[in-house]
Amino acid sequence: MRRTSLKEVRKRSVLMVLIALFILSLTIFGLSLLRAQNLHDSRTDRTLGELAQEMEDRMAFTDAFLNFASLEYMRNPAMDNIKVRELVLCSSDGEVLEVFKGNIRPGMTFPEGLLSGKWEVSSFLAQPASPRLIKSVLRDGNWLIAGFDSRVFLYSPFSKFMEGENLVLVDRDGTVMASWGSDLASVGGCLPVNFLGHRRSEGIWGGERIGIHSVHLGEGLSLALLYPRDLIRYQSAQKALLWSSLFLCLVAPFVALFWIVLNRITSSLDLSVKRISFLAEDISSEDNPVESIPRIFSAIETFREDRAPFEEHGKLLGAFEKLLQVISDQGENLTALYEEAIAMETQVRESNDELNLASDRLDSLMNLSRDIGASSSLDGTVGAIVSNLERTFSCSFVGVVALEEDIPFLWGSSGEPPFPLDRKSLMDMVIPFVDKEEEIVQPAGDMVRFTVPVRFMGRLVGLVLLVQEESSRNGGSIVEVLRRFVLPLGGLFQAHSMVREVRKSFHYLATRMQGLTESYHEETGSHLLRVGEYSAFIASTLGMSEEYVEDIRIYSQLHDIGKLRISHRILAKPGALTAEEFAIIRNHTVYGADILGDSEWLEMARQLAMTHHEKWDGSGYPKGLKGEDIPISGRIVAIADIYDALRDARGYKPAFSHEKACEIILQGDGRVQPEHFDPDILEIFRLNHRVFEGIYAKIKE
């Protein structure tokens, strides 16, 4: 663990306090900013709601007045109960019969759209820049029409809003009928309708971003409050900054007090540490420890004069004073101890060499544990084991032998073995350990071989082999380490055996399922076997592992298992398929993946069933995958399936010769094109097409 000085502790403590204050200040600023914006939004919504209610009440009152007030009362020039600018009586077709108020000539005709009995917005009675609110009421077969100045009708509610905000009354088309406050929107202008579609929204208006709060009044009218977003953010930021500054002012005295106390603690401790360090240097500079006793007495007096500011510091100085007192009291024994220490130094140095060797081996084993933990497969784990054992014990060869059905095989190795490792030789190594528990150490030329058994629940499951040069051998140490090292390996060997059994079981299951496919439609067992062999050859040429090659050999035979869900009538139809029938056939890829289920062991089989008709240029199905988005297994089986399908006779085509099949794959014929295949796999086919021909000839019907 890295040591830290008191000065650095002091700096870090202050820095942490400042960082904490900074974070708290930012938090307070952010919360205050958010709260101020939320308060503005809620205040605006509440005030708009109150204004909307007032206007709806006024409109309801006006509606009742026009319906029930007598015409005689309306002819009174002093009548001004409802702030009306124009009041006329019209016939049913809109012709003005009588003017009660306003500059309207009798004989004028109102547009039919204003004779609806509803509140309407129109410039018919005023300038376009100042449209009227118009209400029509049907009275005894005639229309009573009233026109209102929208601004007067609403009085002046803007005192309830902040500077810079703009309250407007708009109709259903967004036309501004009245405006209070700032000049963000003037009377007669037109707001975008999408500004009014939500209770709260934002948008760009007049080259700046504005916030909009709106409320619908009915009759196609809306009240909207417009305000610059930057203005509200600025005002909110001012309030948030005020709260943050207030917090910093309140905390500043406590920070100063913390700094004073911390500085006093660290300065006092630093002084004591320096005195102890100087004393240690003086004592260590003496060849004979006895000569340092006077300095120890002087140091005791110095510590007695020190005034520790804190109880714990005082206890520390007192304990060190007692220590020095004990050392001085035992002065007569120091010389003898010194001589004894010199004698022991040689022994310690020798022991240290052995300890360093053991430490190096421990580090190697720790690295082995890390590598094992990072490995994603049992084979990778064994690789990590042999590599680390080789480095730990400087071996020329390390081997791990496992048993499968009591037959030994070399599971993993590193280095060159100085003896044969065929099955008979491995069996000869295993036999002695059937009844023998102890390890075997025996010469092998100028080498030494260590053979350590690995057991699981008392049963022999494998061996660990190490070969070392005779000159570098430390047999007892190596055997002791290996004896402990192999104890947990039995479970690993057992897991490997179980994995191989499961793989065999799934391979057997795949083989049986392949029989279902063969019996259902025209794809014969020999076709499926050949596809498996083609695919295994390509995978091996690509450098895939033996397990991968064996998996693709087996699972490629299930690539058309989805055809079990396709009607036999379509599969066995002679001649070309209709477009509808071909669309049904294409579904066999999805059906195949569904039939195989979600077992992790059948992942390759699902990939093959789903993707063997995908094409490198993206023109395949079912998903239209392109390039390396197609799994490598699907790309391999695609060319294997096409080649064998071309060679076989089908209900819709004759069998082609090997040369014709190669020509179609490498040059294209319209339906099959070179662009359909992975270029690397196509090149393998081009260079090795005779191998494909040989497989076809070997596995015939």
Is 300 part of any domain?
yes
Same domain, yes or no, for 411 and 547? no
Cα dihedral 409→413→419→422 (10° resolution):
20
Q: For residue 370, what pLDDT is reported?
A: 57
Indicate whether 559 and 605 sit together in one domain. yes
The verdict on 634 and 531 lying in the same domain is yes
Query: What are the backbone dihedrals phi and psi of residue 33, each rounded to the nearest 5 degrees, phi first?
Result: -60, -45
611 token code pair: 């993707």
Give the span between the Cα atoms of 473 and 449, in whole angstroms. 10
pLDDT at 561: 83
Let me know whether 517 and 657 are in one domain: yes
Q: Among all chains, which residue has been given the structure tokens 């947990």?
A: 488
| Domain-embedded: residue 344 | no
Same domain, 566 and 682: yes
Tell whether 425 and 565 lie within a shared domain: no
Domain that holds residue 426: 361-485
* Residue 222 near residue 195, CB atoms below 8 Å: no
Contact 230, 208 (CB under 8 A): yes
The tokens for 475 are 């047999």
Tell me, yes or no, whether 477 and 423 share the same domain.
yes
Helix, strand, coil % in the chain, rounded to nearest 5: 60, 15, 25
H helix runs in 291-330, sequence order: 293-305, 311-329
CB 111 within 8 A of CB 121: no
Q: Tell me whether residue 546 is in a domain.
A: yes
Place of tokens 């695609």: 638
Q: How many CB atoms lie within 10 A of CB 381?
A: 20
> Cα angle at 406 between 401 and 410, to 5 degrees?
20
The answer to the question of residue 505 being in a domain is yes
Alpha-carbon gap, residue 305 to 139, rounded angstroms:
112
**DSSP-H helix ranges across 375-438:** 378-392, 423-430
Measured CA distances, 440 to 166, 262, 376, 443, 695 (Å): 96, 66, 32, 10, 48
Q: Residue type at 4?
A: T
**Structural domain contains residue 43:** no
Same domain flag for 621 and 666: yes
Residue 448: inside a domain: yes
What does the pLDDT read at residue 676? 95
Q: Based on the structure, what is the number of domains in the chain?
A: 3
Question: Is the four-CA dihedral 122, 127, 132, 134 of positive or negative sign?
Answer: negative
For the chain, the first-to-last Cα distance in angstroms comes to: 74
d(CA 587, CA 439): 61
- Which of 456, 485, 514 is a domain's end point? 485
Kindly report the CATH number assigned to the domain that includes residue 442. 3.30.450.40
CA–chain centroid gap for 449, Å, is 50
Cis peptide leading into residue 679 (ω within 30°): no
Please check whether residue 305 lies inside any domain of the structure. Answer: yes
Nearby residues of 287 by Cβ (< 8 Å), 6 or more positions away: none
> Do residues 535 and 577 both lie within one domain?
yes
The number of beta carbons lying within 10 Å of the beta carbon of residue 319 is: 10
Assess whether 412 and 503 both reside in one domain: no
At 350, give phi and psi (nearest 5°): -65, -45
Successive 10-residue mean pLDDT values, the chain, 701 residues: 66 80 81 78 81 81 85 73 82 89 86 85 74 86 86 60 77 77 76 74 78 79 80 71 78 76 69 67 62 61 58 62 62 57 62 56 55 56 75 80 80 80 82 73 75 78 79 60 66 57 52 54 71 94 91 86 80 78 87 83 88 94 95 95 89 87 94 94 96 91 58
Residue 512 sits in the same domain as residue 455: no
**Domain stop point among 433, 463, 485:** 485
Quote the tokens at residue 437.
């528990």
- Any idea how long the chain is? 701
CA triple 539-540-545, angle to 5 deg? 90
pLDDT value of position 348: 57
Amino acid at 667: Q
Q: Are strands 221-228 and 447-456 parallel, antiparallel or unpaired?
A: unpaired
**pLDDT on residue 63:** 85
Beta-carbon contacts of residue 672 (< 8 Å; ≥ 6 apart): 642, 646, 664, 665
Residue 465 lies in a domain: yes
- 447 phi and psi angles, rounded to 5 deg: -115, 170
The answer to whether 328 and 297 have CB atoms below 8 angstroms apart is: yes
Going by their DSSP bridges, the two strands 96-101 and 86-90 should be labelled as antiparallel
Among 278, 305, 326, give the residue marking a domain's end.
Answer: 326
Specify the CATH number for the domain of residue 579: 1.10.3210.10
Outline where DSSP puts E strands in 194-344: 200-205, 208-218, 221-228
- Give the Cα separation of 638 and 672 in Å (integer): 11
- In this structure, the answer to whether residues 434 and 536 fall within a common structural domain is no
Cα–Cα distance between 242 and 229 in angstroms, integer?
20
The predicted structure's pLDDT at residue 690: 95
Q: Which of 383, 381, 409, 379 is nearest to 398 (CA)?
A: 383
CA atoms within 13 A on the CB side of 272: 26
Burial of 546 (0-12, 13-18, 19+ CB in 10 A): exposed
Q: How many Cα atoms occupy the beta-carbon half-sphere of 654 within 13 Å? A: 4
- Full DSSP string of 450-508: EEEEEEETTEEEEEEEEEEEGGG--HHHHHHHHHHHTTTHHHHHHHHHHHHHHHHHHHH
Beta carbons within 8 Å of 70's beta carbon, 6+ residues apart: none
Q: Residue 542: what pLDDT?
A: 95
